[in-house]
Chain A
Amino acid sequence: MRSRARNSKHTAILMSFWGAAVAIWVASSQTVYTAPKGDVLSLGGTVTEIIYALGEGHRVVARDSTSLFPEEVSALPDVGYLRALSPEGVLSVAPELIISEDDAGPVEAIDVVKAANIPFVTVPEDYTADGIAEKIRIVGEALGVPDRADVLAAGVTAQMTAALAKTTTVPEEDRKRVLFILSAAGGPIMASGTGTGANAIIELAGAKNAITDFEGYKPVTDEAISLAAPDVILMMDRHGGQAIADDDLLSRPALQPTPAAQNNAVVRMNGLYLLGFGPRTAQAVVELNQKIYGP
Chain B
Amino acid sequence: MAWVLVGKSADLDTDRKVIAHRAHLWLLVFLIASCFASLSIGASDASLWSALGRWMAGELLTRMEQIVLWDIRMPRTILGVLVGAALAVSGTILQGLFRNPLADPGIIGVTAGASVGAIGAIVLGASLPLFIQASVGPYLIPVAAFLGSWATVVLLYAIATQRGRTSVATLLLAGIAMAALAGAASGILIYVSDDQQLRDLNFWLLGALGGATWEKVGFAAPLILLALFCASFLGRALNGFALGEATALHLGIPVQRAKNVAILCVAAAVGTAVAFSGSIGFVGIVVPHLLRLATGPDHEPLLINSALLGGALLVWADVAARLVVAPAELPIGIVTALIGAPVFLWILLRRRGVLDL
Q: Shortest Cβ distance from B271 into chain A, in angstroms? A: 20
**Interface: B180 (CB within 8 A):** no
Q: Would you call A105 and B200 a contact (CB within 8 A)? A: yes
Q: Mark B69-81, 1 if CB is under 8 A from A, else 0.
A: 0011100000000
**Interface: B239 (CB within 8 A):** no
Tell which of B97-105, B109-117, B144-152, B325-333 binds the partner: B325-333
Q: Shortest Cβ distance from A16 into chain B, in angstroms? A: 11
**Interface: A93 (CB within 8 A):** yes
* CB-based nearest B residue for A117: B63
The distance in angstroms between the C-alpha atoms of A196 and B195, with both chains bound, is 10
Q: Would you call A11 and B323 a contact (CB within 8 A)? A: no
Q: Mark B330-357, 1 if CB is under 8 A from A, else 0.
A: 0100000011001100100110110000
Q: Would you call A15 and B327 a contact (CB within 8 A)? A: no
The distance in angstroms between the C-alpha atoms of A15 and B194, with both chains bound, is 41
The distance in angstroms between the C-alpha atoms of A15 and B342, with both chains bound, is 8
> A92 is contacted by which of B203, B213, B327, B350 (Cβ under 8 Å)?
B327
**Interface: A89 (CB within 8 A):** yes
Q: Would you call A116 and B324 a contact (CB within 8 A)? A: no
A18: chain B residues within 8 A (beta carbon)? 342
Q: Would you call B322 and A115 a contact (CB within 8 A)? A: no
> B203 is contacted by which of A4, A84, A90 (Cβ under 8 Å)?
A84
B216: chain A residues within 8 A (beta carbon)? 108
Tell which of A22-30, A143-151, A154-162, A229-237 binds the partner: A22-30
* CB-based nearest B residue for A91: B44
Q: Shortest Cβ distance from A170 into chain B, in angstroms? A: 28
> B338 is contacted by which of A22, A94, A216 (Cβ under 8 Å)?
A22
**Interface: B59 (CB within 8 A):** no
* CB-based nearest A residue for B192: A218
Q: Mark A12-36, 1 if CB is under 8 A from B, else 0.
A: 0011001000100010011000000
The distance in angstroms between the C-alpha atoms of A89 and B200, with both chains bound, is 19
A215: chain B residues within 8 A (beta carbon)? 194
**Interface: A276 (CB within 8 A):** no
Q: Shortest Cβ distance from A51 into chain B, in angstroms? A: 18
Q: Shortest Cβ distance from A291 into chain B, in angstroms? A: 24
The distance in angstroms between the C-alpha atoms of A112 and B353, with both chains bound, is 52
Given contacts A112-B72, A116-B67, contact A86 B43 (CB under 8 A): yes
**Interface: A217 (CB within 8 A):** yes
> B324 is contacted by which of A4, A26, A106, A216 (Cβ under 8 Å)?
A26
The distance in angstroms between the C-alpha atoms of A256 and B331, with both chains bound, is 41
The distance in angstroms between the C-alpha atoms of A80 and B331, with both chains bound, is 11
**Interface: B281 (CB within 8 A):** no
A217: chain B residues within 8 A (beta carbon)? 194-195
> A30 is contacted by which of B71, B194, B326, B339 (Cβ under 8 Å)?
B326
**Interface: B68 (CB within 8 A):** yes
Q: Shortest Cβ distance from B128 into chain A, in angstroms? A: 16
The distance in angstroms between the C-alpha atoms of A107 and B43, with both chains bound, is 20
Q: Would you call A8 and B350 a contact (CB within 8 A)? A: yes
Q: Would you call B349 and A11 a contact (CB within 8 A)? A: yes
Q: Would you call A65 and B328 a contact (CB within 8 A)? A: yes
**Interface: A200 (CB within 8 A):** no
Q: Would you call B349 and A81 a contact (CB within 8 A)? A: no
Q: Would you call B63 and A88 a contact (CB within 8 A)? A: no
The distance in angstroms between the C-alpha atoms of A19 and B154, with both chains bound, is 41
The distance in angstroms between the C-alpha atoms of A153 and B341, with both chains bound, is 53
B196: chain A residues within 8 A (beta carbon)? 83, 103
Q: Mark A120-148, 1 if CB is under 8 A from B, else 0.
A: 00000000000000000000000000000
The distance in angstroms between the C-alpha atoms of A22 and B341, with both chains bound, is 13
The distance in angstroms between the C-alpha atoms of A62 and B328, with both chains bound, is 11
A109: chain B residues within 8 A (beta carbon)? 210-211
Chain A, 41-85, CB within 8 A of any chain B CB: 62, 65, 77-81, 83-84
**Interface: B199 (CB within 8 A):** yes
* CB-based nearest A residue for B350: A8
Q: Would you call B322 and A86 a contact (CB within 8 A)? A: yes
**Interface: B64 (CB within 8 A):** yes
* CB-based nearest A residue for B212: A108
Q: Shortest Cβ distance from B83 into chain A, in angstroms? A: 15
Q: Mark B143-168, 1 if CB is under 8 A from A, else 0.
A: 00000000000000000000000000
**Interface: B58 (CB within 8 A):** no
A-B CB contact pairs (8 Å), 24 listed: A7-B350, A7-B352, A8-B350, A22-B338, A65-B328, A79-B327, A80-B327, A80-B328, A81-B328, A86-B328, A87-B210, A88-B68, A88-B72, A88-B73, A89-B322, A89-B327, A91-B43, A91-B67, A92-B327, A103-B196, A106-B203, A106-B210, A107-B138, A108-B216
Q: Which A positions have Cβ atoms within 8 angstroms of B?
A: 4, 7-8, 11, 14-15, 18, 22, 26, 29-30, 62, 65, 77-81, 83-84, 86-94, 103, 105-109, 111-112, 115-117, 196, 215-219
Q: Name 17 extra pairs, CB < 8 A, besides A80-B327, A83-B200, A93-B327.
A: A7-B349, A11-B349, A30-B326, A81-B203, A84-B208, A88-B43, A88-B44, A88-B72, A88-B327, A89-B43, A92-B42, A92-B45, A103-B196, A105-B200, A109-B211, A112-B213, A116-B67
